[in-house]
Structure 1
Amino acid sequence: MSQSNLRQFSFRRAILLTGCSAAAVMTSSAALAQRDEIIVSATKRDESIQEVPLAITAYSGDFVRDTNLDDIKDLVKFTPGVSGNSLDSFIDFLNIRGIRTNDFGVGGDPSIPLFKNGLYQGRNGAAVSSLYDMERAEVLRGPQGFLFGRNAIGGAISVHTAKPRIGEYGGYAELDIGERDRIFGEAALNIPVNEYFALRVSGYGAHEDGYAENVARPGIEKQVEPEKYAGRLSALYSKDAFEALFTVEYEKRMQSGAVYRATEKGDSWDTLVDVFGLSLGGTENDIDSDQGLGEADNGEILSFGLQLDYDLGGAIISSMTGYKDHSYFYAEDFDGTPLRINDYSQDQDGKYFEQELRIVSDNEGPLAWYAGASYYKEEIDVLFTQASDEETMCQYYLSYYGFNSCSDYFAYYYYSFTPNPEGLIESNQVRGRYHGFAAYVDTTLRLSEQFDIGIGVRYSKDTKKFGIRALPIDSQLGPYFALGFTSADFHEAEQSWDAFTPRFIARYHPSDNVMLFASATRGFKAGGFGSFTVLPNGSATTYCGPFGTECINLAAGDASPDPFDPEKAWSYEAGVKGTALGGRSRFDANIYYYTYKDLQQTVTGTGGGIVVENIGDVKGWGIEGSIDTDIGEYFGVLLSGSYTGSEANNVQSICDGTDDCEGLSLANVPKYAGAGILRMNIPAGAGGIYGAAEFTAQSKTYGGAAHLDEAITPSIFDMALRLGYKAEAGWSVIGYIENLTDTEGFAGAEESGGFIPAHFVGPIRPRTFGVRMSYEWGD
């Protein structure tokens, strides 16, 4: 080993040895095709995933590539207790143990934040990124405020990109081609500059033709069509006790927004049929949507990261600095019909800065600890637009009164009606200026060789200055449907929220091969402001709805943004993990129970409009587990599964003021879910034959709080087969079939109400044949 490699090894070993706090992480063994030990850092320490007691599933970079996991939301596929990939750059459908972000505006924070290399990735339009040149990915379940610079009340997804390797020259190139002109490629090159310094350059590109036809817009290309490009430069300097890692990354995403198809069931649908004679065309995987504002999910993201580590001898002090700049445009047809009822778009720009300092002790003695502080500052500016057809609105709302058109209605009151060529366009601007800080300390006391306990506390404070204004409306109908107000100026408010959140952990080793743990954790997510309504004259109860006149052309001071309170949770967990059969089998299982208060949820406000309110109390419970076992010399199997239960109470505001939703489970959460892989590696010549049979399955889900029949997604079962050859010389060729049974349908559904019918979202990708070819080289 060269002197530079020896220095680097010694430094990384020092970081590893700082590590086995009881406030660490537990895996669901899903390294899946690897028998090597996996090192994770979700607890601010590098440590073996087999020795840490929180619920986490870890994936190696090789596993991400072998299973064609394309972007960060694809990690839900094999992770127990996690669901909700809506195939776009929104994260409001993603849920962990039933908890998700129920506000699609920008006045709140995600319940399940995403992190890359320890840095917070932001919100819709900025958080989702492609998985390429990966070291590993970690999906943590339950509150994780102690492990990151931002609070994570429902869980967290954390990915780590491959770092430069000092003293090693090498790289890889990979090409994946398949049906529908699929061309996905990535490559990386590791360049040693000298004995202390190395660079790593990686790139990614992806294109695939769409597969969902929109029969309402004949002649356009099929939708659900990803096209993405990304590049990353990393630089690593390591000498003696000091190490510095700098990363700059750019990604451009051009793909379809979420696509919807009305379920053709329920009272709202029946009314549309009665009034308009509505019917949908196309097959089960097609859509029939006017998409009056187009369809788009286009973003540009530029980010920088700098991590500095210094070994003090007995502790490691670290500084993490991040900056992200993004622009984003999104458009969809939310109602999922050829009628122009609710077309939606979001034009967004944002900047985010964060800084974290921490110090982590070694664990040579009975007491181990870490402490730190973090700060963030965010600027977000958005133009929201919601569009509808004037005559459609008039006919729907006024036909009951005998009016069949806008002209008839206006003539009744001795006015003439002049149609607006663009329809009824309601737009509002939002600007957010947010900042916050947190401080934390965590200690672990080893009481014996088998037993240790951990206690920690975190203090966090978030401050948000929020402004909202609704633009003038050209249509004579006024702010008729979506907003209910217009304003000449921004209406602004500023508010802060803070909390102390403790955590308690105990870990016990009854033997060298088994570990038991239990934990109790307090979760917290700051409050915020609704993005689509105001309170006139600061009223605490009356919103500006679309059928009033008191909220037209509001002047500054006449109204204020709509605030909502923080979310709070207590989560309790117990689990076991270990190895058997001489290390050839790994297993884990955990049970959990949580109580959740003041859920932030979009609801229909008094008189209409989109409002965010704190609703209800939620109880959740479940079981998660997995087993990963070698079968003989050449075969192995992984099985994982989960049961998820919940009960929501005091949620009348999302159930038309009735008790019909009381005691029901949370929406869009499968009660049962599972995944498995049977893998094969058989030596053949100068390499081996590689094969894998994969499956994922989940039970039916309900699309809303009321469990209405018109918004049920049937159970889903998906299979994939992979077979090929991996040569010792570094090249491989793997053929695959994904969605083997060619299952049709949609990934989820949503209850709606009023004018908007229940609808499906995210058509399932059809059976796809392809081949992945790769070549690796290096020292």
Structure 2
Amino acid sequence: MHHLGSRNCSLSCENPALLLRICDRDRGAYPRRFAPPGAIRRGLKMRPTGLHKSILLAGCSAAAMFASGAALAQDDVIIVTAQKRDESIQDVPLAITALSGDFTREVNLDDVKDLVRYTPGVTGNSADSFIDTLSMRGILTNDFGAGGDPSIGLFKNGLYQGRNGAVVTSLYDMERAEVLRGPQGFLFGRNAIGGAISVHTARPNFDGVSGYIEADVAERNRFFGEGAINMPLSDVFAVRLALYGGHEDGYVDNAYFPDHDPLIEPEKYAGRFSALYSDGPFEAFFTAEYEDRKQSGSVYRATEGGPGYETLVDIFGVSVDGNGRDIDSDLQLGEADDSEILSLGLELTYDLGGAVITSLTGFKDHDYYYAEDFDGTPLGINAYAQDQSGNYFEQELRVVSDTDGPLSWYAGASFYNEEIDVLFTQAADEEVMCQFYWSYYGINSCSDYFAYYYYSFTPTPEGLVESNAVRGRYHGWAAYVDATLAITDQFDIGVGVRYSKDIKKFAISAPPVTSDLGPYFGVGFTTAEPLEDKQSWDAFTPRFIARYRPSDEWTVFASATRGFKSGGFGSFFISPSSVTYCGPFSTDCLGLTNADASPNAFDPEKVWSYEAGVKGSLFGGATRVDANVYYYQYKDLQVNVPGTGGGILVDNVGKVKGWGFEASTNTDLGEYFDLYFAGAYADTDVTNAEPLCDGTLACEGTSLGYVPKFSASAALRFNYPVAEGAIKASAEAFGQTKTYGGLLKPDYAVNDAYVDLSLRLGYASDAGWSVIGYVENVANELYYDGVSEGGNFIPAHYFGPSRPRTFGVLLSYEFGG
């Protein structure tokens, strides 16, 4: 189980309230998206539109400049207010990577998780709707149930996107995407203890009717299209409509069903309507979006090594057919990863003259169904399904000072209310379960086992199917204030504090099991009524920032931040655990009531994170540098550990100390080339994690296995003017060193190091059309989203094989603007 260029302005670094843009670039002989770097440097201009005093949600880093396809000269002043006051992009004292919407289109980034390819310190992409493998500096969401909160927050237009099944949305008609590393409690309405991914969709504008249409055609019958049209309906009101959708055949064969279609077969359709009203000091921005996603659940393949697999070979003579990109699974519950998501957002901004007040309101409703075969073998050991529905409402208010004096400040408050209902199902083959657990005693069938105790066994057609349902009703609120004082023209300090409170009411129930084997293998109990509990958690979390600017070209900063993630409830276990010490022929775990047990509750996570960084330029502004080091002390990790009986317990385990280095550079290599490079080194030290290491101290002092020591990405881009357009080419690569399936780091659960290279070449016309051919994963590199150590019954397995080498062409046409 589970594991900045805009389309209308070349570079944007604004909050949803701000329309400060770098616009009106002199296109000369080149379309906006394909102008050579030198031309961009020479022709770059800036003008404010809309509310010129509105506020940025966050600043942009040097990576933003790479995303727009240009290394900007130091003379080009880009004004942002990441700390809620005007400052150059290179002055922002935060670790942020920003990618433009144009860039995400050009390199085929399909959804928000794909952003990790070009972000230092962030790893763990996966081709499903879960975010439990997504890691920032080693911090991830280990609990895949519905009773906790994500460690990494995902936001769209400033609004929180929620949890597994609802959080992963497609990237289309984007303005930009920002990835903020480290605890984030002062820029968003919800806490994000590990970091945040914030995407911003393209806004309507008043520059006339404009838009684009694009088609991506490739192997495996891939056809994805997207388009948008912008229409100003008056001097103060404009609308925008964007559509996206398509399908691609799968690339993973299942040896168990050789005649079935290949798996990992995405099919997605989405649409977004947005409207902007801007008149004097008042601005309103509204979005309505719907997405229907259908694709395969994660696919698993046993690594064919380790004691778990060897036991299966001894008992069943199991083998796994197919190559490393194939699977061999019985898919007892089928395979699916299907979401329907409706999102509404409204942002209201008013310039009071001395301050700007902003209101953010959001609502999200989703239905989600997921199914996978978790064990990675052709045996019926553990299939998993999740049938989920939920809705989420949020409201945030913030006020930002508009003073030119030495003191600037901002304050805000937010509220959320979430309802979530999930039915979890686990399935297995009855005979497989009986053989595995009792063949040691010479019993090789369920009938023999039951006869030994003078019972008769009646097989169930659907096999051993165990289910449990959870119901979550959560709400909470937060308030924060942050102030920055300029001590001198070169040195300033900032202090902020946030108060958060989360209240969760949770219920878990498990119906009777049809199989004679009972609920003792996957869930471990049944209930006569929902087992309920209600708890709350709160915390004050401060942040301290110091910034020094020794010259116009360089900024040095340091920060200390307290991070907090609310406690919650496990979706597969109950407390006290003693009620689950039972098995077949026992009734002690059946028909439980609130008098017998309650949901499994766990405590909050907390972290102190320290960071120091430098941003600047070299060689007369031709090279931008953005580098930082960090150290954190993390405790009470919310992780899945084996429970008694068949349950999965979420508990607070261990302490982690982490440190590392992250850097990115963007270099103008002359008239036609620019080079972007980003890299990260990460190391961790784990202590007191015995429940994750077979109850021993074998893992004491080891590092987190799923965090690569080194990860990096690079993009070399070329534009050469010819005739009535330009030749465009690029080479993009990302990769990482090896990772492991757990703290024990056995040699049979290793995801080897890899590098994934893509090449693109084409022509862009002055008339607005372009044809770009590409080959992705040029070397046909085979790697995986992750690997697991497995356990007693579940063998070590890989999940999510890489997409193979793919040839395709990207056709686009832009008009107006």
> TM-score normalized by structure 1?
0.96
Q: Give the counterpart of 1:288 among 316, 322, 328.
A: 328
Cα offsets for 1:152-208 (capped at 9, x unmatched): 000010000000002421000000100000101100000110000000000000211
Q: Are the counterparts in 1 of residues 84 and 409 from structure 2 also a CA contact under 8 Å?
A: no
Q: Are the counterparts in 2 of residues 545 and 605 from structure 1 also a CA contact under 8 Å?
A: no
In structure 2, what is the Cα distance between the partners aligned to 1:123 and 1:184? 26
Matches within 5 A, 1:37-186: 48-186=88-226
Q: Are the counterparts in 1 of residues 85 and 408 from structure 2 also a CA contact under 8 Å?
A: no
- Tell me what 2:13 maps to: none
- Tell me what 2:780 maps to: 742
Matches within 5 A, 1:479-558: 479-535=519-575, 539=576, 542=578, 544-545=580-581, 547=583, 549-558=587-596
Counterpart residue identity of residue 578, structure 2: T
- Tell me what 2:789 maps to: 751
Change (3 A) 1:355 1:495: same
Matches within 5 A, 1:598-747: 598-747=636-785
SS of corresponding position for 1:636:
strand
In structure 1, what is the Cα distance between the partners aligned to 2:476 and 2:61? 29
Cα offsets for 1:426-470 (capped at 9, x unmatched): 000000000000000000001111111100000000000000001
How many residues align? The count is 768
SS of corresponding position for 2:66:
coil
Matches within 5 A, 1:214-363: 214-363=254-403
Counterpart residue identity of residue 714, structure 1: D
Matches within 5 A, 1:1-16: none
- Tell me what 1:574 maps to: 612
Q: Give the counterpart of 1:584 among 610, 622, 625.
A: 622
Counterpart residue identity of residue 685, structure 1: A
Counterpart residue identity of residue 296, structure 2: S
SS of corresponding position for 1:100:
coil
Does 665-674 or 498-507 show the bigger shift? 665-674
Shift of 1:43: 5.9
- Tell me what 1:364 maps to: 404
In structure 1, what is the Cα distance between the partners aligned to 2:533 and 2:223? 48
In structure 1, what is the Cα distance between the partners aligned to 2:239 and 2:278? 12
Does 678-687 or 563-572 show the bigger shift? 678-687
SS of corresponding position for 2:578:
coil
Shift of 1:752: 1.5
In structure 2, what is the Cα distance between the partners aligned to 1:470 and 1:348? 16
Shift of 1:39: 7.1
- Tell me what 2:235 maps to: 195
- Tell me what 1:4 maps to: none
Counterpart residue identity of residue 297, structure 1: D
- Tell me what 2:485 maps to: 445
Alignment of 1:31 with 2:71, yes or no, is: no
Shift of 1:46: 8.4
In structure 1, what is the Cα distance between the partners aligned to 2:467 and 2:163? 21
Change (3 A) 1:625 1:118: same
Shift of 1:476: 0.5
Shift of 1:776: 0.5
Q: Are the counterparts in 1 of residues 779 and 805 from structure 2 also a CA contact under 8 Å?
A: yes
Change (3 A) 1:34 1:184: farther
Cα offsets for 1:604-633 (capped at 9, x unmatched): 013441000000010000000011101111
Change (3 A) 1:15 1:452: farther
SS of corresponding position for 2:812:
strand
Alignment of 1:378 with 2:418, yes or no, is: yes
Q: Are the counterparts in 2 of residues 20 and 52 from structure 1 also a CA contact under 8 Å?
A: no
- Tell me what 1:3 maps to: none
Change (3 A) 1:46 1:280: farther
Change (3 A) 1:435 1:350: same
Cα offsets for 1:584-621 (capped at 9, x unmatched): 22111100000001000000013441000000010000
Change (3 A) 1:740 1:25: closer
Alignment of 1:596 with 2:641, yes or no, is: no
Shift of 1:47: 6.5
In structure 2, what is the Cα distance between the partners aligned to 1:543 and 1:304? 44
Change (3 A) 1:39 1:296: farther
Structure 2 gap segments, 5+ residues each: 1-17, 22-46
Change (3 A) 1:298 1:546: farther
Shift of 1:9: 7.3
CA RMSD of aligned residues (A): 1.9
Q: Are the counterparts in 2 of residues 533 and 543 from structure 1 also a CA contact under 8 Å?
A: no
Matches within 5 A, 1:407-418: 407-418=447-458
Shift of 1:744: 2.0
Shift of 1:480: 2.2
Q: Are the counterparts in 1 of residues 71 and 667 from structure 2 also a CA contact under 8 Å?
A: no
In structure 1, what is the Cα distance between the partners aligned to 2:594 and 2:48? 57
- Tell me what 1:477 maps to: 517
SS of corresponding position for 2:405:
coil
- Tell me what 2:41 maps to: none
Q: Are the counterparts in 2 of residues 546 and 609 from structure 1 also a CA contact under 8 Å?
A: no
SS of corresponding position for 1:511:
coil
Does 661-670 or 499-508 show the bigger shift? 661-670
Change (3 A) 1:574 1:9: closer
Cα offsets for 1:497-549 (capped at 9, x unmatched): 000000000111111001000000000000000000111xxx3x636256364
Counterpart residue identity of residue 749, structure 1: V
- Tell me what 2:44 maps to: none
Q: Are the counterparts in 2 of residues 333 and 343 from structure 1 also a CA contact under 8 Å?
A: yes
In structure 2, what is the Cα distance between the partners aligned to 1:622 and 1:613? 27
Counterpart residue identity of residue 159, structure 2: L
Change (3 A) 1:703 1:745: same
Q: Are the counterparts in 2 of residues 137 and 157 from structure 1 also a CA contact under 8 Å?
A: yes
Change (3 A) 1:321 1:510: same
Q: Are the counterparts in 2 of residues 301 and 324 from structure 1 also a CA contact under 8 Å?
A: yes
SS of corresponding position for 2:433:
helix
In structure 2, what is the Cα distance between the partners aligned to 1:334 and 1:39? 50
Change (3 A) 1:253 1:545: farther
Alignment of 1:464 with 2:504, yes or no, is: yes
Cα offsets for 1:318-365 (capped at 9, x unmatched): 000000000000000111110010100000000000000000112411
In structure 2, what is the Cα distance between the partners aligned to 1:41 and 1:268? 54
In structure 2, what is the Cα distance between the partners aligned to 1:714 and 1:205? 33
SS of corresponding position for 2:206:
coil
Does 46-55 or 390-399 show the bigger shift? 46-55
Counterpart residue identity of residue 722, structure 2: A
Does 667-676 or 542-551 show the bigger shift? 542-551
Cα offsets for 1:741-777 (capped at 9, x unmatched): 1112423211120100110011111100000010101
In structure 1, what is the Cα distance between the partners aligned to 2:104 and 2:498? 33
Does 581-590 or 692-701 show the bigger shift? 581-590
Counterpart residue identity of residue 731, structure 2: A
Shift of 1:217: 1.4
In structure 2, what is the Cα distance between the partners aligned to 1:331 and 1:741? 31
Shift of 1:51: 2.4
SS of corresponding position for 2:166:
coil
Does 541-550 or 635-644 show the bigger shift? 541-550
In structure 2, what is the Cα distance between the partners aligned to 1:107 and 1:571? 25
